[in-house]
Chain A
Amino acid sequence: MRESRFWALSMLAAVVMLVVLTAHMAVMHLSPLVGVSLETTRSFAAVLDRARSGVQTWGYYLLLAAALYHGLYGLRGVILELPVGRAGARAVTVILALVGLIAFGYGAYVVAETARLAASGI
């Protein structure tokens, strides 16, 4: 893939993160600013309650994908500044893509499992 596509995707991921991460921060960390205590927003019941909403589930899939891509693309940029050669650069790209996929799989499993628990009515 051309470098411009990697870069454009990274910019797109940044915009997605700006929206989804802002929502995450507002709910999970900044709710006291509007008079809602953190205990209320972070309690087990409140987490499961939000997990019943498809918006939250898909929002976290999106945040996970965007944050992983953006972060690993940046890490690739740092690593490839080292004299790794053409084959080394390809290997770094493949390894980081695999790391990203595995991390996404693990994170997506946690999000899906939370949603499943919520739906089961615990």
Chain B
Amino acid sequence: MEARRETVTFRVFRYIPGDGEKGFRSYTLEVPEGTTVLEALHIIKEQHDPTLAWRSSCRMGVCGSCGMLINGEPRLACQTQVLHLGSKVVELRPMANYPVTRDLVPDLSSLFSKHAAISPHILRPDQREVDSPTGEFIQSPAELESYLQFSYCIKCGLCLAACPTVATDPDFLGPQALAQAYRYSADTRDGGLDSRRGVLDRFHGVFQCHMAGACSAACPKGVDPAFAIQLLKREVVLRGLGKRRRRLARVSPLPSEHVPSEKIPAAPPRTA
């Protein structure tokens, strides 16, 4: 059976720095079922307009490079099928709340600087253990579950493009950084919430979120940053009241120091 084909017009935002002109240019293509917006952009570039610019890499929703506004919604171009949009006209614009570098390419500097501001890595008081580990940190499956969902963030920046608070307050840390602040603070190996509070517990920090929930609706990986922000608010308030000090994950002994139980039979001799 032959795949369904439809003629679709793409209205693409064009901006070339120095040119001064901003506006939309239309390209009409016949697209078969299954064509993604990213593939359509490649066809436009190859067959209609080689000057068109956008950012993309993996083509499979992993790298988070191809975020853009597709018919007004923040989406990944590689994860959006043209015919599933159900529209004869597909409008493509760069992500909102970022300066535009060129055409569909946003300047993501603010995303990465906000992300860096919350120290997105394991912070521990016993720095010697981090620098020269003597074993592995013990973490139960339940403890892993408490933050695992939030670790799926691919830093595509769609949540910031969807956030109405970032639109009015560019200094607001935004859902991506705040969700990652929770992701690390909820990790039992991490003891860094106190040092992150300086950034989180100020006006443009976590309490500026008005819980619009647009970030969670936009996230292509199901991270639910809005939920993470509410959990982070609770953590920051309780820590401010001097409560909820969690015990850090212990360090397991090295395998060489580990004495196996007598009930466990010895491993068979090596064959190779």
Return chain B residues, CB-CB under 8 Å to A77. Answer: 208, 210
Q: A42: shortest Cβ distance to chain B, in Å? A: 37
| Alpha-carbon distance A4/B193, docked complex (angstroms) | 14
Binding site secondary structure of chain A: helix
Q: In the complex, are the beta carbons of B203 and A89 less than 8 A apart?
A: yes
Q: In the complex, are the beta carbons of B203 and A2 less than 8 A apart?
A: no
Interface hit among B33-41, B51-59, B233-241, B250-258: B233-241
Return chain A residues, CB-CB under 8 Å to B170. Answer: 83
User: Which size class do A's interface residues fall under?
Assistant: 10 to 19
Interface hit among A5-13, A29-37, A51-59, A62-70: A5-13
Q: A71: shortest Cβ distance to chain B, in Å? A: 15
Q: For the complex, is B168 an interface residue (Cβ under 8 Å from A)?
A: yes
Binding site secondary structure of chain B: helix
User: Which size class do B's interface residues fall under?
Assistant: 10 to 19
Beta-carbon contacts under 8 Å, B183-238 to A? 197, 201-203, 205-208, 210, 233, 236-237
| Alpha-carbon distance A81/B169, docked complex (angstroms) | 5
Return chain B residues, CB-CB under 8 Å to A39. Answer: none
Return chain B residues, CB-CB under 8 Å to A25. Answer: none
- In the complex, 14 of the A-B residue pairs with CB atoms within 8 angstroms, ordered by the A residue number, are A2-B197, A2-B201, A3-B202, A3-B203, A3-B207, A4-B233, A5-B240, A7-B207, A7-B233, A7-B237, A77-B208, A81-B165, A81-B168, A83-B170
| A residues lining the B interface (CB < 8 Å) | 2-8, 77, 80-83, 89
| B residues lining the A interface (CB < 8 Å) | 165, 168-170, 197, 201-203, 205-208, 210, 233, 236-237, 240-241
Query: Top 5 A-B pairs ranked by shortest CB distance?
Result: A4-B240, A81-B168, A7-B207, A81-B169, A3-B207
